[in-house]
Amino acid sequence: MSKLKALVPEYLKDFTCIGSTCEETCCKNWKITVDKETYKKYKKLKNNDFHPLKDNKVIKNKKSISDEDYAIINLDNNNEKYCPFLNEDLLCNIYTNLGEDYMCDTCKTYPREFSFVDDELEISLVPSCPEAARKILYSPNGICFEHIELDYQKYMDYKKRIYTKGRFLSKNAHKYFWNIRIASITILQNRNIDIVSRLTFLGILYKKVNALIKQKNYQLIDDEIIKFVNTVENLNDNSLLDDLSENKLQQALLCKEIILGLENISLKNKDSAISIFINSTIDFFKKGEDADKLLNEYNFIIKNKIRPFFDSDIGSMMIENYLVNKYFLDLMPFTYPDDIWKSLIVLCGDYFIIKSLMFGMAKDKDSIKEEDFFNIVCAVSRRLTHNSNYYHYLIQNIENWKLDTLGGLYTLINN
């Protein structure tokens, strides 16, 4: 059988679904699409005691735009919308009765994500799955990457799910994708400096690269990258950040406004983990209207509860691994093909949201623990980053507050 070369994080080799022992299930509260090929398999089933199309459990999708979302699974109509094929042991009845070949592409592949870059397959995991999140966040030596060989046909069967963002790499600026990407991950994994400095240095690099792109001096990009990475590697202080300033009041007010707005995006189920985190943080900001009092308490929680966690070895490792995984997963810096700066806004925005949701948790605790961070990351990934409206909302708010500059992003993340 022919083989396919794939670039993957090392943690992928150790990942397996833990089934009914998982503290979460991927079979509730999400729209589950069924590809056309799988739907046809169901139609061909004859005289079978178990039939997926019985009782309208799988229905054609009237809003389908491709063969990938040809049909949808009709979730049970209760507060937590469970897949009707989920049995009492939290296992899949389709898998149990018919086998893996009858599972739709969505269920076969989750929590894996696929992309092609220059005809090379990349696979990573999304941290909305708790077991995937453990593999991502608890990689002690950082996330390392390697090439592996896979059975070609098995992964080509998922071709309808693979989004080929890599097509843009033939354009002038994008042929420097690999060099920018490697440099960015190198900076994000530089443990000689704190996370805020790493993100800010990334911003300085992107400003330089963006300027060369606008001037169409593409041939100078590689030299600029090498020079900058060497500067950061040899840096013993944060002198490159001397011209930046922070505004804690602006940061606190933006935190309040953005978290309030997240209610409209994620709170379909008031009892979900993300809803509890959001409401707790909203309660923190609603405690008083006095700006000075709010700011004092905001700064107290940052200094005494949140910052100690992020300055700790475990906290710094977990947030680094989250950011590096996101960078790889989203094909940064060209998540938005025409604007590498938006990738930085997204990366800083996610970091800001995760830290903001800690305020509701921190107000009732003496300190933030690693399990607190883990739970927030899983909830954010499950209910926010999977939502197509989330990043549009986040970018729009950061731009409206005029924090989409390097100085603005520094204000956003520096606490």
Instruction: Please confirm whether the linkage preceding 127 is cis (ω < 30° from 0).
Output: no
Q: Round to whole Å and give the CA distance between 413 and 346.
A: 12
User: Is 70 exceeded by the pLDDT of residue 21?
Assistant: yes
User: Is 90 exceeded by the pLDDT of residue 199?
Assistant: yes
Q: Round to whole Å and give the CA distance between 128 and 23.
A: 12
Which pLDDT does position 266 carry in this prediction?
A: 56
Q: Round to whole Å and give the CA distance between 294 and 36.
A: 54
**What is the four-CA torsion angle of 37, 38, 41, 45, rounded to 10 degrees?**
-160
Which pLDDT does position 150 carry in this prediction?
A: 76
Sequence-distant (6+) residues with CB within 8 A of 324 are 142, 143, 185, 188, 189
Share of the chain above pLDDT 70, in %: 86
Count of Cβ atoms closer than 10 Å to residue 387 Cβ: 14
* Mean of all residue pLDDT scores within the chain: 84
User: Is 80 exceeded by the pLDDT of residue 246?
Assistant: no
- The mean pLDDT value for 314-333 works out to 95
The owner of tokens 């790493």 is 198
Which pLDDT does position 241 carry in this prediction?
A: 56
* Kind of pairing between the strands at 33-34 and 71-73: antiparallel
pLDDT tens column, 253-285: 888 888 888 877 655 555 578 888 888 888 888
User: CA-CA distances (angstroms) from residue 206 to 20, 226, 229, 244, 295?
Assistant: 44, 13, 12, 16, 32
**Banded model confidence at residue 360, pLDDT cuts 50, 70, 90:** confident
Distance, C-alpha 94 to centroid of its chain: 29
User: pTM of the full predicted structure?
Assistant: 0.90
Lowest-pLDDT range of 37-41, 170-174, 267-271: 267-271
Which pLDDT does position 308 carry in this prediction?
A: 93
